[in-house]
Structure 1
């Protein structure tokens, strides 16, 4: 990424709008030097933006004055990005290059925040072309700095997609859980049971009990095992296990807690359990 900086006019940092303050890698900005910088808070359709002004004030205190909330599935959100980037570049004396009419933007951020989806959406909106970057619901899809990808004709603009880069050390346990819940850390590294427990705690703490109706539960609960059991039984996620009895082995059906935890987490990530702001 550092080697490609000589062709970069602006940094476009993409992050998850549900964790706008947590989990961003501060070393990215330090390592990539001084460039016009736009923070793009993606997946705004999944975030509770009731406290949007507070978030913007906190980000401004951290030095981020150029912030956009976006949903890469909505054209009206995507159309705001290129004009904003163009203005940032033109207002930065260091990068006023009249002899070069094209611009190159480096897209950075932690894993699985939608960097490749943003690039593909920009191509769809401005060039009417298909996907140029592979996307997926798990972190680690993009593994190398790709060649320049054109996303606009007027003005001529190219983007560089880059791998998601997490901070080498996550000092706060809760920050790590927020990242895991939003899919920036692979589930098996944390444990789906741990992530599901944190999700239940988070929903209850914010008094967002839509999971009760979604899964047909009797009421809110802080017992994750009880909730996962109900989810497993209501969705038919069971497994056969052998139980040793006085008369021999008996095969019975038991709730599949791992499958239920996975379903619970993915329902949250799809926005089926309501909009949430984790910060």
Structure 2
């Protein structure tokens, strides 16, 4: 039995949204309290040589990589490496680059038997622990030394030193995810949430799915149409999630009060559909996306 008609929008006829309704959301409530434990003073970092590692490069649209680098250089970030820690791609560049930065920052050696301790700092759920494990695989041929996870908040305290290289002798410190004390805007918060830096339920899975749909359509990234066998691109999240739920057999029984009493009806599970939509995006199934394209 068909539960409801197939209602989809045609890209040629759809009235695409010109903006996303932010609705006065309080972005400060989205970010977990454990981040405060990992707060690092910006002025302290400014005194140390530092390297910006942009991980998960396999998920990003890097067609305009030079523009990205130029934009970062304009913000004072001149040492940048793109990596994919799952496949250990470009990871071998990190330690030689770090050593070059250290060598250019200090004019003398403190002793013959040197060891280095590097702190890994970054936004939640960007692969800091995966980076440490990848470095160990590359340089020590050893397995995991730190726990990883697909949600923010897996690392909740600064861990003890973890060796990642023998020559030179180098240790890394894994730290909890940190963010700026104030998020610039609700839309910035939504972008961070789409990347998994916030627990989904704090923002709302359907809200995130709606912002994702808006973003994909805005940039004409329509991989979701083929992935879910939609009849065409659509700007209405309810219609998309309804179709996804039925296709994945994600339904739920709901009691509805009628004039003759309670009646159990089968309805699409919008939350389950939203979760699948977000998972597809974060795993790269919907294609490579750069959320900050407008910044360049």
Classify 1:28/1:193 alpha carbon distance in 2 versus 1 (closer, same or farther; 3 Å).
farther
Which residue of structure 2 aligns with residue 58 of structure 1? 71
Which residue of structure 2 aligns with residue 244 of structure 1? 257
Which residue of structure 2 aligns with residue 142 of structure 1? 155
For 2:70 and 2:206, how far apart are their aligned partners in 1? 35
1:233 aligns with 2:246: yes
Which residue of structure 1 aligns with residue 201 of structure 2? 188
Q: Is the 8 A contact 2:255 2:263 kept in 1?
A: yes
Which residue of structure 2 aligns with residue 205 of structure 1? 218
Q: Is the 8 A contact 1:90 1:96 kept in 2?
A: no
Which residue of structure 1 aligns with residue 139 of structure 2? 126
Alignment TM-score, normalising by the size of structure 1: 0.87
1:169 aligns with 2:175: no
Specify which structure has the higher proportion of strand: 1
Which residue of structure 1 aligns with residue 236 of structure 2? 223
For 2:55 and 2:89, how far apart are their aligned partners in 1? 13
- Aligned runs of 1:1-279 on 2, under 5 Å? 28-93=41-106, 96-279=109-292
Instruction: Write the deviation string for residues 31-64 of structure 1: whole angstroms up to 9, x where unpaired.
Output: 4341111000000000000111111011001001
Q: Is the 8 A contact 2:52 2:77 kept in 1?
A: yes
Q: Is the 8 A contact 1:115 1:161 kept in 2?
A: yes
Structure 1 residue 210: deviation in Å?
0.7
Instruction: Write the deviation string for residues 3-32 of structure 1: whole angstroms up to 9, x where unpaired.
Output: xxxxxxxxxxxxxxxxxxxxxx99753343
Higher Rg: 2
Corresponding residue pairs, total = 255
Q: Is the 8 A contact 2:39 2:178 kept in 1?
A: no
Which residue of structure 2 aligns with residue 19 of structure 1? none
Q: Which has the higher relative contact order, 1 or 2, with Cα contacts under 8 A spaced 6 or more apart?
A: 2
Segments of 5+ residues of structure 1 without an aligned counterpart are 1-24
**Stretch deviating more after TM superposition (269-278 or 240-249):** 240-249
Which residue of structure 1 aligns with residue 29 of structure 2? none
- Cα RMSD after superposing both structures: 1.7
**Stretch deviating more after TM superposition (250-259 or 167-176):** 167-176
Instruction: Write the deviation string for residues 52-79 of structure 1: whole angstroms up to 9, x where unpaired.
Output: 1111011001001100000002234111
Q: Is the 8 A contact 1:89 1:96 kept in 2?
A: no
Segments of 5+ residues of structure 2 without an aligned counterpart are 1-37
Alignment TM-score, normalising by the size of structure 2: 0.82
